[in-house]
Structure 1
C-alpha cells in the first residue's frame, strides 16, 4: 500500500488516503511507521538458518526488492521505519527452557550453533551481533531507522517496540517482512491489543 503513497508538497497536517477494499484507508504520515519484520540472513540468505535446515529461502529472498521499493517510498514520504530481528544471547538464556515450545521449535534448526558465514567469518545461528541475525545487505537500515531486537515471534514481547511507537505517537503500522504466518502475524495480532493502542 505504501508504494502508492506520495506526500511531497503536502502540508504538515496532511491526511493521506489510499484506495483499498472494503474501504479507503486514511493515515497521517507523521504518525505512521513501516515495520520490516525479520528480513535477516538466517531467514532469507544462503548460508542462514533456513538454508542450512534445507528450507527454500527463495520466497523470502524474493521479498527484498518489493520491500526495498516500499522503504524508498516510505522514507521519501517521511514515514518512520522500524526493523525487527529475531535473535538471542549467545548462551541462549533468553530462548526459553530446554522444554519450552520456542526452544524445541528452533532446536531442529540448530539455534546457537557456530557456523561459518558466506564471507568466512565465524557466526552463530539466531545469535545477536552475528552475520546470521544481520538484516540482509540490500535492506540495511539507514540513519534514523530503528532496529528492535526480539527473542520471540512478536516484536511486542519483552522489547522496547511499544515504548518506541508511543514516543513517536505512532498509531498506524504498515507491515512487511517474513514470515507472514509466524512473526508478522504474531506482531500484527499483538499490535491490536489495547495495551498498544493510542
Structure 2
C-alpha cells in the first residue's frame, strides 16, 4: 500500500485566532487539532509517505475567485486569503518544513484545478490520509473526490476541525460512506499504513 498524507488549509486566515475567517479556530485550539495533525505529519515523515500541504488562496485582485460563490464571496468581502500575506501562511504551530511540497488551490476541493492528482499518481499512491480544516468543507469535498478517483481514503478525525463539534461529527458521519474515519490512535496502534 502506497500512502500519502494530505494536510489542508491550516493557514492563518482559517486556523489562527486572529484570522479573518477563522470560525474554526476555537475548535482547533480547544481540541488541539494542529497538535494531532503534527503527530500525523511525524508518522508520515517517519514512514516516508508522500506528504502534501494544501492551502487555499487568491491573487490580491481575486482574479481566481468565483463571483457567484457564497463562500468565496465572503472571502473577497473580508479581504481574506490573499496569497503572499500572513493570512495564507501556514499556522506557526504546523510542522511544515521549507522543503515540503505545497499546492495552492482556488476552490474548496484540494483536487479541483491543482496538481494534486498528478503528484499522487506519479508516486503510485493508492491510499490517502486526510487532515485539515474545515471538516464540512475541504475535507468533505476532497474525500468525496478522492473516493471517486478510486483512492482508499482515511480521515483522521482528531486531525480535522470545523466551526463546531456538531458540524465536525455530522460531517464525519456522512463521510463514513466514502471513507474510513478513524482516530489517530488506531492509525498509530494498528499500523494501517
Could you tell me the TM-score, scaled by structure 1's length?
A: 0.69
Runs (4+) off by over 4 Å: 109-112
The structure that has the greater radius of gyration is 1
Cα distance in 1 for residues equivalent to 2:77 and 2:39: 32
Unaligned runs of 5+ in 1: 1-27, 114-124
Cα distance in 2 for residues equivalent to 1:84 and 1:149: 6
Aligned residue in 2 for 1:33: 4
List per-residue Cα deviations over 1:82-112 (Å, max 9, x = no partner): 111011111111011x3x12xx323335556
Could you tell me the TM-score, scaled by structure 2's length?
A: 0.71
Cα distance in 2 for residues equivalent to 1:111 and 1:68: 32
Among 51, 73, 83, the residue aligned to 1:107: 73
Aligned residue in 1 for 2:115: 160
List per-residue Cα deviations over 1:130-184 (Å, max 9, x = no partner): 1101111121422552111000000110111111111111111000111111101
Aligned residue in 1 for 2:184: none
Among 33, 37, 40, the residue aligned to 1:67: 37
Do structure 1's residue 169 and structure 2's residue 139 form an aligned pair?
A: no
Cα distance in 1 for residues equivalent to 2:24 and 2:6: 24
Unaligned runs of 5+ in 2: 153-193
Cα distance in 1 for residues equivalent to 2:122 and 2:24: 38
Q: Within 5 Å, which residues of 2 pair with 1:94-133?
A: 94-96=64-66, 98=67, 100-101=68-69, 104-111=70-77, 113=79, 125-133=80-88
Question: RMSD value over aligned CA atoms?
Answer: 2.0
Aligned residue in 2 for 1:47: 18
Do structure 1's residue 57 and structure 2's residue 25 form an aligned pair?
A: yes
Count of equivalent residues: 150
Give the 3-state SS of the residue equivalent to 1:165 in structure 2. helix
